[in-house]
């Protein structure tokens, strides 16, 4: 089903407002970008497979080429896509970016020969590179990030020394700042840029090949067959289709536009309220960035930050992502029952027939997962999987031909251009944070404000992610928040493990010595189990400088690694909330444009449906959902499933039928019990059976109301 046949011109104009104004691909510049994209994609495949060039040089080339593509694709002024003089300026900006990359490669050695002292051309090249990055970031994301970069850079060499207290920074010379920003592997061309041209590009290219091969249409068709015939089936189609599509697209707004034009009209036709249909699509599309294997760019950045293998990260991310989509599905089921939304005839063939005609689309994903399990790096696995997409397409009636391959290469580069410019620019902020140590300062402030409370810390991070998300894309928000607040969360989660050891009386002897330095009189208390309040008071006596050493002595390295991953996963999940939380929630606004509903009302509906974004991070913080044994993880998943369904029923006041106040209160209590971190297995089992009983009671009440004769 073509999207263009579903939406009218007015809706299309509204949807266009959520996309950047770009030049036509049929124009001369568009054709130039087409072939530039093909060449640049092939160059990146070479860099990521058999290339041996310096990483700094590759990062510079990555910036220069994508800056040129970005400049030629997105005009400097909206509404000026056809202006020749604007095109001329854009071309000059792109060529300056190319020149800056070439200058770094050609004259890096000369700079070191001079003892790292700038000459005139060094000053010009460094300044121009930063200015171009700021301008192109402004075009793609607005003014917020460029202003944030300017504030960060000027803080280092200018106004930071005038501040008092913990934010006072003596300052570096402007020459040093420019060197670290441009010539070294710490700023624009540092670790974030390296993630961009390796993992992120290869998986975006993989996604472009999948879409070009027809996998996107197969996903929608499969979702319609699998879920469309249930009560409220179109809502489940939105959840399933957006989850599968988002796992390879990595963009919530793009996911909403591509799947929403099909699923939202279907939901309306089935009887769902318009605002609810739009809210479900927005919430489901947001979850697409949580679903492995791609997870936007988050999984790759997380792997770089934590030094935990990418495969392990996506393995731990799978069940939480599934839990989120099931939580959205619960709201769909409840609303379907309340609105009497039924299944509709979707004119789809049997699911077996769809699988028979499109099973080959699943082969590249199987190849990708298999290669990762076998031990290939993500970049190699993605490269081989791209080849497998082409080979798998030859098993269909529409094999990819040379033109399709070129189109996919070019589209992959176009899809990457905005992300590449953004990530390179964000590297400037990350460099300032690491140079000044402001990340540790911020973490200490969070600890101070929260009073050592993990729950309050989570609340502060959630508020910060929402505020940042109003001006930053999700990936950028995660990078900034991860750099600033991950140490605080990591420390508190690690402390919770340490406190449990003290309560159990299982503290290693080496760790006890740190406590005895703080208070030698505690030797007897440390030798046996203690109350949690006593353990907390004793831990508070340990100086902050010694806590890191204490954690390393007391906790297994694996436990510390999982605590770090939990901290980053919490931040990554909370960074998604800006997509569905008013006042600025672009994913919900895009869905509202399709459904023709009030944007803000749609945003609040999406925020309600996406409650899993806030519940699952609590599980990361307080349970062994990440890092536990298989039995522990499956147990947490199962009980949380019942708990979230119970909370959804309490929020909506409806299950299979309307709940009275007592039933609603029972659902709320059961939800809290099932989600609350405790080790009383019997209580969880009892609460689960009680919820099943409440579900059955509600269902019987619905059947009774349907069977009751009408009264005159």
Q: Domain residues of the chain, as ranges?
A: 3-189, 194-400, 434-701
Tokens 């947490």 belong to: 636
pLDDT band for 3, please (50, 70, 90 cuts): very low
80-104 pLDDT, tens digit per residue, is 666 788 889 999 999 999 999 999 9
pLDDT (tens digit per residue) in 379-419: 888 899 999 999 998 988 788 999 999 999 999 999 899 88
Q: Which of 159, 160, 131 is nearest to 146 (CA)?
A: 131
| Neighbour count for residue 399 (Cβ, 10 Å) | 13
CB 494 within 8 A of CB 536: no
Check residue 659 and report its DSSP letter: -
**Is it the case that residue 163 has pLDDT exceeding 90?**
no
Write down the pLDDT at residue 226.
Answer: 64
89-98, 424-433, 499-508, 509-518: segment of lowest average pLDDT: 509-518
Mean pLDDT of 555-573: 94
Average pLDDT of the residues of the chain: 86
**Whole-angstrom distance, CA of residue 369 vs CA of residue 366:** 5
Give the pLDDT band of residue 360 (cuts 50, 70, 90): confident
Residues 339-360: what's their mean pLDDT?
71
251 to each of 82, 304, 340, 358, 525, how far by Cα in Å? 28, 21, 32, 24, 53
Q: What pLDDT shows up at residue 705? A: 65
Q: What does the pLDDT read at residue 712?
A: 40
* Separation of alpha carbons 672 and 643, rounded Å: 7
% of the chain residues with pLDDT over 90: 40
Dihedral angle over CA of 287, 289, 290, 294, nearest 10: 140
Strand partners, 658: 654
- What values do phi and psi take at 658, rounded to 5? -65, 140
Q: Which residue has the higher pLDDT, 269 or 296?
A: 269
**691-708: per-residue pLDDT in tens?**
999 999 998 887 776 565
239 to 216, 220, 226: CA distances (angstroms): 15, 11, 11
Q: CA 392, CA 399: separation in Å to the nearest integer?
A: 8
pLDDT score of 345 more than 60 = no
**Residue 1 in this model has a pLDDT that exceeds 50:** no
Q: What is the mean pLDDT of residues 243-248?
A: 70
Distance CA 485, CA 567 (A): 9
Residue range 612-617: mean pLDDT, rounded: 93
Of the ranges 9-18, 424-433, 556-565, which one carries the lowest mean pLDDT score?
A: 9-18
State how far the Cα of 710 lies from the Cα of 712, in Å rounded to an integer: 7
Q: Which of 233-242, 404-413, 526-535 has the lowest mean pLDDT?
A: 233-242
Do 512 and 549 contact (CB within 8 A), yes or no?
A: no
Query: By the 8 A CB rule, do 76 and 139 touch?
Result: yes
Question: How do residues 183-212 score in pLDDT, each as one tens digit?
Answer: 988 899 998 899 899 988 998 898 889 888
Share of the chain above pLDDT 70, in %: 91
**pTM of structure:** 0.84
Reported as a single tens digit per residue, the pLDDT across 323-334 is: 999 999 999 999
Token output for 705:
């109301």
In angstroms, how far is CA 180 from the centroid of its own chain?
28
- Report the 10 Å Cβ neighbour count for 39: 14
The pLDDT confidence band at residue 4, using thresholds 50, 70 and 90, is very low
- Poorest-confidence range of 370-384, 396-410, 599-613? 370-384
Residue 637 has pLDDT above 50, yes or no: yes
Burial classification of residue 231, based on how many CB atoms lie within 10 Å of its CB (0-12 exposed, 13-18 middle, 19 or more buried): middle
CA 507, CA 555: separation in Å to the nearest integer? 9
pLDDT tens-digit series, residues 454-491: 999 999 988 888 877 776 778 788 888 888 889 889 99
């Amino acid at each position: 089903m073509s999207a263009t046949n579903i939406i009218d011109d007015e809706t299309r104009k509204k949807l266009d407002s959520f996309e950047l104004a770009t030049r036509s691909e049929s124009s001369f510049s568009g054709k130039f970008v087409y072939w530039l994209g093909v060449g640049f994609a092939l160059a990146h495949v070479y860099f990521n497979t058999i290339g041996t060039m310096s990483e700094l040089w590759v990062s510079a080339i990555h910036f220069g080429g994508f800056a040129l593509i970005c400049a030629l694709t997105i005009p400097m002024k909206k509404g000026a896509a056809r202006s020749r003089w604007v095109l001329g300026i854009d071309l000059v900006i792109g060529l300056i970016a190319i020149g800056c990359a070439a200058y770094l490669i050609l004259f890096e050695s000369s700079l070191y020969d001079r003892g790292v002292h700038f000459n005139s051309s060094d000053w010009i090249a460094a300044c121009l590179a930063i200015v171009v990055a700021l301008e192109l970031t402004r075009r793609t994301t607005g003014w917020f990030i460029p202003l944030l970069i300017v504030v960060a850079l000027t803080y280092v060499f200018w106004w930071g020394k005038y501040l008092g207290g913990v934010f006072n920074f003596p300052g570096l010379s402007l020459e040093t700042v420019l060197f670290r920003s441009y010539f070294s592997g710490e700023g624009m061309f540092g670790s974030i840029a390296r993630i961009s041209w390796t993992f992120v590009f290869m998986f975006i290219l993989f996604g472009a090949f999948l879409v070009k091969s027809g996998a996107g249409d197969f996903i929608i068709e499969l979702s319609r067959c699998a879920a469309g015939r249930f009560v409220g089936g179109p809502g489940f189609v939105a959840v399933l289709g957006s989850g599968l599509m988002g796992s390879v697209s990595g963009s919530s707004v793009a996911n909403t536009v591509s799947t929403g034009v099909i699923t939202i009209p279907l939901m309306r036709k089935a009887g769902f309220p318009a605002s609810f249909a739009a809210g479900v699509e927005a919430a489901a599309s947001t979850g697409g960035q949580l679903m492995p294997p791609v997870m936007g760019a988050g999984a790759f950045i997380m792997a770089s930050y934590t030094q935990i293998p990418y495969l392990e990260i996506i393995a731990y991310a799978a069940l939480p992502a599934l839990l989120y989509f099931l939580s959205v599905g619960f709201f769909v089921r409840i609303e379907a029952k309340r609105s009497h939304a039924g299944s509709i005839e979707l004119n789809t063939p049997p699911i077996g027939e769809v699988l028979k005609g499109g099973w080959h689309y699943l082969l590249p994903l199987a190849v990708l997962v298999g290669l990762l399990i076998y031990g290939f790096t993500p970049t190699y696995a993605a490269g081989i999987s791209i080849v497998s997409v082409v080979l798998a397409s030859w098993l269909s009636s529409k094999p990819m031909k040379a033109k399709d391959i070129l189109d996919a290469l070019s589209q992959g580069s176009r899809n990457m251009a905005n992300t590449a410019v953004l990530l390179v620019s964000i590297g400037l902020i990350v460099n300032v944070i690491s140079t000044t140590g402001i990340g540790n300062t911020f973490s200490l402030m969070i600890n101070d404000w929260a009073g050592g409370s993990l729950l309050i810390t989570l609340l502060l991070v959630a508020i910060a992610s929402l505020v940042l998300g109003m001006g930053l894309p999700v990936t950028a928000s995660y990078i900034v928040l991860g750099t600033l607040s991950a140490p605080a969360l990591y420390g508190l989660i690690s402390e919770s493990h340490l406190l449990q050891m003290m309560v159990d009386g299982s503290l290693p002897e080496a760790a006890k010595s740190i406590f005895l330095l703080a208070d030698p009189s505690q030797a007897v208390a440390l030798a046996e189990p203690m109350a949690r309040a006593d353990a907390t008071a004793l831990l508070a006596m340990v100086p902050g400088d010694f806590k890191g050493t204490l954690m390393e002595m007391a906790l297994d390295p694996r436990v510390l690694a999982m605590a770090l991953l939990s901290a980053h996963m919490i931040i990554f999940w909370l960074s998604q909330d800006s997509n569905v939380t008013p006042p600025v929630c672009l994913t919900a606004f895009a869905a509202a444009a399709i459904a023709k509903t009030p944007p803000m009302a749609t945003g609040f509906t999406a925020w309600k449906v996406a409650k899993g974004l806030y519940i699952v991070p609590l599980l990361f913080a307080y349970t062994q959902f990440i890092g536990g044994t298989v039995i522990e993880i499956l147990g947490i998943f199962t009980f949380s499933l019942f708990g979230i369904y119970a909370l959804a029923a309490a929020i909506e006041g409806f299950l299979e039928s309307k709940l009275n106040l007592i039933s609603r209160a029972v659902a709320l209590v059961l939800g809290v019990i099932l989600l609350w971190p405790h080790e009383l297995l019997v209580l969880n089992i009892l609460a689960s059976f009680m919820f099943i009983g409440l579900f059955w009671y509600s269902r019987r009440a619905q059947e009774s109301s349907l069977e009751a004769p009408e009264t005159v």
